[in-house]
Amino acid sequence: MPDFTDNAVPDASPILEMIDGMRLSKAVFAALELGVFDYLAAKADTCAGVAEALSLKSDALERLLDTCVSVDLLRKQDGVYQTTSLSDTYLVRSSPRSVAGYMLYANRISWRLWEHLEDGLAEGTPRWNQTFGNQADIFSHFFRTEEQKRTFLAGMHGMGQLSSPQVAAAFDLSKHLVVADLGGGTGHLALSICERYPTMRGIVFDLETVTPVTREYLSRAGALDRITVMSGDFFLEALPSADLYCLGRIFHDWSEDRIRQLLRKMHAALPEGGAVLLAEMLLSADKTYPTTALLQSLNMLMCTDGRERSLDEYRALFESEGFTAVQGVITGSVLDAIYAIKSSM
């Protein structure tokens, strides 16, 4: 029998924090979804004023606003609420560094998918159809309307700004002349690489429905003179000519068969000495750490055929398709970096 003397009872705080973590996440998601941060960024106001503007009940809203104050997402003084530098930077949708789109994805998509985690674990398959009905796939859902597409891409852009500079700095890429960002979205990874290496030119390659948005983001960054935008499907069409392919959050979407297909295609297209740079979360060698990557791997179970992987797993994939000198760097940011060089076959 377990020893339940006072000295042997573990602290319950980690368990209780898990319960509160779920509640806090949903509270912030709701505040974001309802427009609280956008409204208060433009105008500090009382709870009654916010409630009237957003068509909410004042008594109920006060609880939500005060919760946001407790985690430094809002300030409250003499009954008047306003945003903080944290929420201004990351939660106000108009901010250039906003991750609001990613959090809206978490609220609208992940939150609902994760209701069926037990079923996903029992069957080992995504819960997309169970949650949203018969739809082709997750990407079709994201691009179903212009608003959904832009929300998704804005979310990826905000998260990319947190990691792309660190991924670009993880390895010495100075020998490369042209980087092609496959499935590059808004082009944040290619842009970070080109900013770090002034002589390098870039290409962002993505679906035709994405590339008009890509051009908008790169135009605002003043980068269209160095970065070309091309439309295409990297599984179905010829890849752009480059000596460095980079891919951010792409491999974790797909099964090993699909990854091997793409690796073979990149190997065939690269010149001798060309390379591939990935921006992905790396699991530890025994795959028990870090928690963020493990949770993301469970998330991929819920919505795709993919998963997060360790460096050893990435090395095995790359080497099986003719790449060598596979290296990984833990960047300390949202995503880590993996680099592999084309070898002679």
Along the 345 residues of the chain, how does pLDDT read in single tens digits? 566 566 689 999 999 999 999 999 999 999 999 999 999 999 999 999 999 999 999 999 999 999 999 999 999 999 999 999 999 999 999 999 999 999 999 999 999 999 999 999 999 999 988 998 876 567 777 788 898 899 889 999 999 999 999 999 999 999 999 999 999 999 999 999 999 999 999 999 999 999 999 999 999 999 999 999 999 999 999 999 999 999 999 999 999 999 999 999 999 999 999 999 999 999 999 999 999 999 999 999 999 999 999 999 999 999 999 999 999 999 999 999 999 999 865
User: In what side-by-side order are the strands of the sheet with 275-280?
Assistant: 227-231, 201-206, 178-182, 244-248, 275-280, 336-342, 323-329
Which domains does the chain possess?
Answer: 6-90 (1.10.10.10), 128-342 (3.40.50.150)
Buried b (16+ CB within 10 A) or exposed e, 162-196: bbbbbbbebeebeebebbbbbbbbbbbbbbbbbbe
Question: What SS3 class is residue 329?
Answer: strand
Query: pTM for the complete prediction?
Result: 0.92
The residues annotated as belonging to the active site are: 252
Contacts 24+ apart (CB under 8 A), 60-66: 64/27, 64/30, 64/31, 64/36, 65/31, 65/36
Nearest to 60 by CA among 96, 32, 87, 30: 30
Nearest to 47 by CA among 77, 23, 85, 89: 77
